[in-house]
Structure 1
Amino acid sequence: MLLIGCEAEMEALGEALRSSRLAHATSAVLIEGPGGCGKSEILQFGVQRAAAEGALVLQAAGAFLESSLPVGIMRQLLSNLAFPEDVGRHLRELLESVKGYAEIDNCNASAADPRWPSVMHEVFVSLSEMSAVRPLVIAVDDLHYADSSSVQFLKYLVRRSRSIRLSFVFTASLYQQSKAQLLETELLRHPAFQRLSVGRLSRDGVRRLRSWHGGVPGERQADEMYELSGGNPLLLRAVCDERRMRPSQGPEQEQGSADWQPRPDGPFTQAVRACLTSSGADFLEMAEGMAVLGPAATADRLGRLLGVTPEAAELRGVGLRAAGLAVGTELRNPGIRTAVLGGLDEGERSRLHERAAELLRDEGEPAALIADHLVGCGTVKHAWGLQVLAEAAESALLTDQPQTAMHYLELALSQSTDGVERAAITVQLAEVAGRVDPTDVEPVLDGVLSAADSGKLPVLTLERLVRLVRMRGYVAEGEAVAGRLWEAAKAVRSSGGGTVGRGSFTEQLPGALTQGPQQGPQQGLQQGPQQGPPQRSLPSYRDVPRQRGAARIGASPENGRVTAADQAEQVYRVGLSHPAAQPALLATTVLWTLPDQRGVDTSAIPTKPSGASAGWLSDLKLPGALNAIKALAFADRTYEAVRWCEALADEAEWRGLDGWQASVRAVLAEVLLVQGRFAQAEACAAQAVAGVPTGADSAFAAGPVACQVLACIATGRYEQAARHLGRRFPERLFRSVDGLGYLRARGHYQLATGNLRAALDDFLHMGRLAAEWRIDRPGLIAWRVDAAEALLRLGETDEADRLIAEQAAAVDVSNARTRGMTLRLRAATAELPMRRRILPRAVTELRRSGDMYQFARALADLGRTHKELGERELGESMLQRAWRMADECGAAELCEELRPGYATGFAGEVDEGSTLSQSERRVASLAAFGYTNREIAAELHVTVSTVEQHLTRVYRKLNVTRRQDLPPQLKMCMEDVA
């Protein structure tokens, strides 16, 4: 099957063997070709035909592991059981004596040695006598692996044989510089010598072979198979076998050569290794060099990597190209590269990667290219290695490859021995991990905060650490790190701004990891990047001395030359350390900076996210952007905050940064919850924690889970809320601001299910933590509102009044939502006339805030107040409006409270009326109970015409013709309807 296109070679071999038998003459045939192209199959074809025609076949095969075995090939040839017993015994004795000579002479068979010619002569005589009785065929496969002593024997036999019925058939790999060339010289002098060459299949040959294997010989499939195998028959058959092992993959789904991924140790991988092994050790070594260097391979680099001349490297490359394994100086496809690398032992692979890194570094190649080899090596033996990894990590981040950057940083961390340097690398690793998975940040961050050397970190690293700690919501730790940053910055300013700190790994990551100052809410969302002082020109790994032990990382502290730009940059970078940036909420994730004046000035924040463009987000800008979004929501600009979140989430998605996308969606869920859009908030929170396993060592999921719990409570799904609260979190949750949100959600669940004391405990626990952390600002963390609501339901009005008064007195920072909720509770403790004056102010504030749910609650309280004052019509109108607002939010509990029997199911539930709008379902429900159109109109405060239009649409959607046919599921309990 593998002999497609070799018909002429097979015919020539058969004719040579036939002529030797009939003409009593010696023939010699050498079959040459690349590995895997059918040399052995043609040889087998010839010797099988010769044996069928009565010839005695003496056959042997060379192997790399037996290439140094004395007379190994000759012992295979002369061990044929078809020899007469006396002849076979005599030949074996001769070989044993030769084996002894070779072992004494270290396998050096010399024609000048008087012992060798006599033994060779006797062997020749014995074979000549046998050929007189029966034609002989000596066939040696893979002659390039023959041992030296056997080559000397074969040369002697070829030289002496002219007119006896003895045929020689050899196979050898092309371009192989080996002992076989000694025999080839003798073969050229033989008068009956023939050279047969075999090669790769053409595209037509590939099509024929594929059809024999049961494939569809289409043009496109044939081209793909040719690209995958290079026309090498052995590889082509392996590709066919491997694809037959995947029956579910149709022809239209077949992978091309660019993304071909064979099974580990599958047919294709085994065929590649067999092809290289049969080609010779030199070609195997060359393929390993190509696999290690990859696209960076050149003939000159490969020669230096393998320790051979460029000419020898080029010759080996020609051999691999002839076999179809390589194109130029690269292996043909990733499948071949994977197969070659898989055959390398760990030590050899490490050695090649280490040597490749040195070569590329000497030639000044990009750091990323060198760093890949350092990662492949798994160690950094040179002083310049850490600098290379630093620049490579920066380059990877600039092209949105955070996982690659993490590999570089993890290697640098494992190789660094300096405590401060290790802490600095860990800070970088935590920052990059946030791009991939936000749950990976906290365990790494805890290691940095607990490290003994973390207090010695330079200013730039401390600035990053502050940003990370604040983003994770660590309060006490954030305050401590901010204090260290302030002290370090003060030391820099007092020294004239000469140096930021001791030179370290982290100081060498410019660009994406060290750009610009920290921005607060007023700057975080400005259109386009902020323009700061010029960046310092940091040293490159190419500037590090290349002598061993002479490398340095970072600037010399003795260098006192400091430019004005350097000084300006220090002030620019340590802006976080300014006292104005350290209010009580410095370490919180609620807001990073709070001005002294009332409220938060968000006038500088654009109302539309037009500034978000390709590559706008960075490790520096994301925290500021998220907190600026929270500032927008706090300033009652929630719709703008939603637009910004959506824009940032879209950018994080198309850039493939799952960690950033999860962080943005967590904030978006909070904003949607503030708006009262419970279904959307719950869905967004679920997306934020979709990849976070339960029990993960991270508190990141606490914020989104709190949003899910509050959304479930508002929509009356308490069992689902309890399932969310059953999620396990690490103890560090209650060291962060996220713990406050989780306590609030748990408290509201207890409040909704009647566990009033447990709810009050959670709300008070929030207050104790806020006071302990010195962030108890009622206008921002309104735990008093929640606690007061629990106290009112417990009947403890005096204590509730005290908390409400404290909350109302918090005028330093507040917003319309907080003020409205406070006024609503204040009205609940007031007398009826005072309630009539307070509630309109609460309604006004909550309408401004954009929170539809809280607005509906306040409006409902105002409607009840009007009814109690005898203003029934006005009160009913307000209650009706409040019910519609609650219905739009999906707040089934509030709907049922306002109009029993009219509560609608939560979005996502399917019933008989799921195709109907809310208004249509209300009309249909009353009609199903037998209400006339006029009665329905009066009940719902609409016109009779409107009722008729709704019923017409209901009949059409439900495919009924009269109200008696309406499904019974539409009926609601109407006993309490006025």
Structure 2
Amino acid sequence: MEKLAERDEEEKTLAQVYGECSLGGRRIVAIEGALASGKTALLASFARDAADAGATVLEASASSFERYQPLGIIDQLLRGCRLFSPGADLEVRALWESAGGEGAHSEISPSILGVLQGAFQYLTDSPQLVMCIDDAHFMDVESLQYLLALMRRMGTAPISIVFTYCPDMGRDSVQRLLQAEILRMPNCTQLDLEPLSETGVATVLEDYFPLETAGRIAADCRLLSGGRPLLVHALAEDYTGRLAESAAQRPVAGPAFGRAVLSCLYRADPVVLQIARAMATLGELRSAAVVARLCGMDPESVARIAASPGVGGLLEHDLLGQPSVREAVLGSMPQNERQDMRSQAARLLHHKGAPALVTAEHLMRIGEPVSWARQVLCEAADQALAGGDPEAAVGYLERAHRECAEGRERIDIAARLTEVMWRYDPAAVKSHLPELVAAAEQGGLSVRQSLHLVRCLLWNGQVEQATRVVTRLGDDPHVPDGEEAVPYAGQLRLWLPLTYPGLVSAPATEDVAAQDADPSASGHRAAAALGAVLRGADGTEAVPAAELVLREALAGAASPASSLASLMVLIYSDHLDKASVWCDALLASMGETYGLVWNAMFTAARAEIHYRLGDLANAKRQAQAALALMPHESWGTAVVVPLSILVLTATAMGDPGEAETYLDIPVPRAAFGTLGGVVYLDARGRLHLARGRHDAALQDFLAAGHLMKIWEMDCPSAVSWRAHAARAYFHKGLSAPAGELLTEQMSLLPAGHLRTRGLTYRALAATLRPDERPPVLLKAANLLDRCGDSLNLAYTLADLGHAYELLGDSVQARRHAHQARTLAGRCAAALPPQPSSAAANEGAGPEPLGESGQPAGRLSSAEWRVAELAARGSTNEQIARKLFITVSTVEQHLTRAYRKLGIRRRTQLPSAYPNSSHDHRRPRAAR
């Protein structure tokens, strides 16, 4: 016989029965077991061995679909067998036809019994006749009655009947006959198949895997399969497909497992499959009472069938709840039936007060509208968010939105939907924004909803629509002024000038400490602290206030926007060591709580901290990680934040070509209405400077400065545009305007901003004579060393070495140059080339017309820039675009410049402005 796992005793018994029967007499073997217990495999193995031994083997398999077909099993046993004469064959065929026409026989017919006896008597002329009947609990009653009668009349003919059956399954009349007649016969042997042990499971797995693998996964397979051989084989098939991924993975119930369970259910009573489908539809909440209602049965019957020995636990949650099994069971239903059952399940669960998440699962899979669905779906969305499943929450809200007609409820759901969407995919909210903008213009949004709408619009660059919403909110006399409206109105007033200063003017300076009593203290403290720093405060109050907000954030009491603003306070106050610690703590604590957007923004902030500390490799890695968290279109106007860091790091690492590739990534025009846009202009200008495009660099630096001035956020530690513009002027040989800018920057620096002060001293040194530079550069190096900026310290030491070289002090020159190269290597930076000796020795450089004693010297910085561009041939519109000012402002600057220069028209500018006449080409256009 074929080797079966842990079936040695059963196989030995079958062999013994076969041997006894061959000596004369009749034997019956009843193999009892639950579904999938291996009965069919054992029966098939015995049938093959009996045939190999020379026996005549007749086989039949009963089915629930043929259980009412009279003599159906006997028909299967005899079909295809050659009987003792052609007439006998015809007589048996006629018997089937008469049985099918007359229906069930309540009594044994002598004529039919005689025909069958003759047929079977003829077949016993072989050494032995073996009849194998699988799933005998589904036999038709007539076949069972006649087989019993035949066994009594066949005398000592060598006949064996071996059948399998499941207890408590099939027709009651058949089960009664099996239990009362056959199993009580003296020549009947009963075999009860038990589930496989862990050792038996390992034996099955050894046919698929090496011994080590089979032993390692046997326990898990035993737990999943319940020791059912059929399911163990299915698990082995599923695991074979997973071995290519990783041999260390644990076995899981895959598609083969699902199909195996479904095949078992098909072989059970139809009511078992019906219950299984109801349970699979209901999912987690599947009590006997709910399942019974869905199946149209009573709970007692459902409980009895589920606990039946024949079913063998196939309806238990641990098995039927496996995703692959549930998918297979639901997939076996026609689509219309599946839809109907889900619809019934949704209504039933709602009526029973099931959790919203459970009911919503069914609502999402039915197409018909349901009047009460919106409330359930919205509640389920909140629960999904709390459980960390934003994708499901968005799905529930989208379905709820579709369920709504026009009205307040639809608007509220759309607002909630965009709020959730924005945290994970800001680009996806665009389709809902027109509806919300229309509602806002009609006064249909609350202050809180309007605040979020403005954020979404600005993030996606829709400045005009955001302006309309803000204006409407400010002018609407019907805006509620209750307790809830106050903090949101305050947020709008505080945050808009900071996040999008191009939209509204900056608010008056507020006392940072005075915000503690406000109901939304964290948000107000963070906004006030950041506003104070951007307007030039020294950070004495702002830094402690920011750290308080960050402590609250770690405790879950501050919003991510407040946390990020507080982090920027530390960065812009040059407290980079504190910023590093806080940023790492926030990234570690937030996980997926706040969504992809905030995770990406904090990652970008970490990249900026790394850059300011001179850690270029980590700055680049973090900036790339931030950019990769979301598609570029989802970054919206904020895409300039990580791009700026990438441009700066690539430039500093000596790879301007790579930096140019980041500039090729499209940037929304609206981004230049944000502080991030100013940082981007500064980064692009520094790349131009590294490329030797000094005019283009100067254009970007001055444009950045102009924006910061009109926004009243001219904070040198946020963007040191003056220091960089001064360097561009110096490369053009214009030391006077460079010195003016640096002097102005130094006057704007509050106490304690060590890094920015060090950068300013380094830039200032370039405008001095060689003998004046070392003390200033040493002061810059000391400040940069104290704040931890290794990159700019390396640049400063390189400048110091060059200054000593010009002074003829080769020892000091080599020492500082070596220090600079070592430090630059640690930063992964490339030291910029030093200016030529001639240019460096000139110190102040060629003095442009416009210095003391010349008419142009009376021009302001803004008038000087406008006049210079006009002298080069730029139109007023082109000047306005380049300097990010209006055409009217250009005209005003030119009018004042004409008056101060003593000229009347534009064509006289080149002669009155000779420094611009040497090059009448237009500057390189902004990317």
**TM norm structure 1:** 0.67
Aligned to 1:975: none
2:31–2:163 Cα contact (<8 Å) kept:
yes
Matched, 1:722 2:713: no
Letter in 1 for 2:714: P
| Alpha-carbon distance in 2 for matches of 1:597, 1:695 | 32
What runs of 5+ residues in structure 2 fail to find an aligned partner? 507-525, 838-927
1:143–1:180 Cα contact (<8 Å) kept:
no
Change (3 A) 1:410 1:899: farther
Q: Secondary structure at the match of 1:643?
A: helix
Q: Secondary structure at the match of 1:605?
A: helix
Identity of aligned residues (%): 28
Shift of 1:762: 4.3
Q: Which residue, out of 890, 900, 904, partners 2:827?
A: 890
Q: Which residue, out of 227, 231, 234, partners 1:235?
A: 231
Q: Which residue, out of 375, 380, 385, partners 1:387?
A: 375
Shift of 1:230: 1.2
| Alpha-carbon distance in 1 for matches of 2:484, 2:726 | 49
Letter in 2 for 1:59: E
1:860–1:878 Cα contact (<8 Å) kept:
no
Shift of 1:897: 2.7
Change (3 A) 1:896 1:319: farther
Letter in 2 for 1:273: L
| Alpha-carbon distance in 1 for matches of 2:240, 2:162 | 36
| Alpha-carbon distance in 1 for matches of 2:259, 2:14 | 29
1:567-606 → structure 2 map (5 Å cutoff): 567-577=482-492, 579=493, 583=497, 586=500, 594=531, 598-599=536-537, 601-605=541-545
Shift of 1:768: 8.0
| Alpha-carbon distance in 1 for matches of 2:811, 2:20 | 119
Letter in 1 for 2:193: V
Q: Which residue, out of 123, 142, 152, partners 1:152?
A: 142
Letter in 2 for 1:197: D
Q: Once superposed, what is the RMSD of the aligned Cα atoms?
A: 5.1
What are the superposed Cα offsets for residues 74-97 of structure 1, whole Å, 9 maximum, x if unpaired? 543342232343222332233235
Shift of 1:668: 1.7
Letter in 2 for 1:185: L
1:697–1:729 Cα contact (<8 Å) kept:
no
Aligned to 1:463: 451
Matched, 1:172 2:112: no
Letter in 1 for 2:299: P
1:702–1:739 Cα contact (<8 Å) kept:
yes
1:770-809 → structure 2 map (5 Å cutoff): 775=711, 777-779=713-715, 786-787=724-725, 789-795=727-733
1:200–1:324 Cα contact (<8 Å) kept:
no
**TM norm structure 2:** 0.71
Matched, 1:616 2:611: no
| Alpha-carbon distance in 2 for matches of 1:819, 1:475 | 35
Change (3 A) 1:143 1:701: farther
What are the superposed Cα offsets for residues 12-36 of structure 1, whole Å, 9 maximum, x if unpaired? 55666777776666x6554332122
Shift of 1:649: 1.2
| Alpha-carbon distance in 2 for matches of 1:180, 1:167 | 25
Shift of 1:227: 1.5
Change (3 A) 1:727 1:571: closer
What are the superposed Cα offsets for residues 200-224 of structure 1, whole Å, 9 maximum, x if unpaired? 2234433444456665388765433
Matched, 1:672 2:610: yes
Q: Secondary structure at the match of 1:162?
A: helix
| Alpha-carbon distance in 1 for matches of 2:459, 2:587 | 17
| Alpha-carbon distance in 2 for matches of 1:734, 1:292 | 53
Give the structure with the higher percent helix.
2
Aligned to 1:688: 626
Matched, 1:661 2:599: yes
2:426–2:634 Cα contact (<8 Å) kept:
no
1:598–1:813 Cα contact (<8 Å) kept:
no
What are the superposed Cα offsets for residues 555-597 of structure 1, whole Å, 9 maximum, x if unpaired? xxxxxxxxxxxx43343444324x4655475568999553597
Q: Secondary structure at the match of 1:279?
A: coil
Change (3 A) 1:452 1:890: closer
| Alpha-carbon distance in 1 for matches of 2:209, 2:768 | 88
Q: Secondary structure at the match of 2:168?
A: coil
What are the superposed Cα offsets for residues 439-495 of structure 1, whole Å, 9 maximum, x if unpaired? x2134246425755452333332233345556778755554444455456x5243xx
Aligned to 1:444: 429
Change (3 A) 1:630 1:56: same
Matched, 1:189 2:185: no
1:422-501 → structure 2 map (5 Å cutoff): 424-425=412-413, 427-433=415-421, 440-445=425-430, 447-448=432-433, 453-455=438-440, 456-468=444-456, 478-486=466-474, 491-493=478-480
| Alpha-carbon distance in 2 for matches of 1:79, 1:634 | 92
Letter in 1 for 2:689: L
2:500–2:674 Cα contact (<8 Å) kept:
no
Matched, 1:32 2:32: yes
Aligned to 2:194: 199
Change (3 A) 1:227 1:467: same
Shift of 1:231: 1.1
1:746–1:762 Cα contact (<8 Å) kept:
yes
Aligned to 1:96: 97
Q: Secondary structure at the match of 2:59?
A: strand
Shift of 1:728: 5.0
Matched, 1:637 2:633: no
1:482-881 → structure 2 map (5 Å cutoff): 482-486=470-474, 491-493=478-480, 567-577=482-492, 579=493, 583=497, 586=500, 594=531, 598-599=536-537, 601-605=541-545, 607=547, 611=551, 616=556, 621-653=559-591, 660-692=598-630, 698=636, 700-727=638-665, 738-763=676-701, 775=711, 777-779=713-715, 786-787=724-725, 789-795=727-733, 853=791
| Alpha-carbon distance in 1 for matches of 2:16, 2:810 | 115
Letter in 1 for 2:177: T
Change (3 A) 1:24 1:478: same
The number of equivalent residue pairs is 796
| Alpha-carbon distance in 2 for matches of 1:615, 1:471 | 28
User: Is the deviation greater in 282-291 or in 807-816?
Assistant: 807-816
| Alpha-carbon distance in 2 for matches of 1:693, 1:610 | 28
2:307–2:313 Cα contact (<8 Å) kept:
no
What runs of 5+ residues in structure 1 fail to find an aligned partner? 103-108, 498-566, 901-978
1:202–1:231 Cα contact (<8 Å) kept:
yes
Change (3 A) 1:678 1:288: same
Shift of 1:323: 3.6
| Alpha-carbon distance in 2 for matches of 1:430, 1:295 | 30
1:322-341 → structure 2 map (5 Å cutoff): 323=312, 325=314, 331=320, 336-337=325-326, 340=329
Q: Secondary structure at the match of 1:94?
A: helix
What are the superposed Cα offsets for residues 528-574 of structure 1, whole Å, 9 maximum, x if unpaired? xxxxxxxxxxxxxxxxxxxxxxxxxxxxxxxxxxxxxxx43343444
Aligned to 2:914: none
2:781–2:797 Cα contact (<8 Å) kept:
yes
Matched, 1:371 2:360: yes
Aligned to 1:79: 79
Change (3 A) 1:93 1:666: same
Shift of 1:422: 5.6
Change (3 A) 1:899 1:721: same
User: Is the deviation greater in 300-309 or in 465-474?
Assistant: 465-474
Shift of 1:275: 2.8
2:265–2:273 Cα contact (<8 Å) kept:
yes
Aligned to 2:511: none
Q: Secondary structure at the match of 1:171?
A: strand
| Alpha-carbon distance in 1 for matches of 2:634, 2:484 | 40
Q: Which residue, out of 283, 288, 292, partners 1:303?
A: 292
Aligned to 1:312: 301
| Alpha-carbon distance in 2 for matches of 1:220, 1:680 | 41
Change (3 A) 1:431 1:789: farther
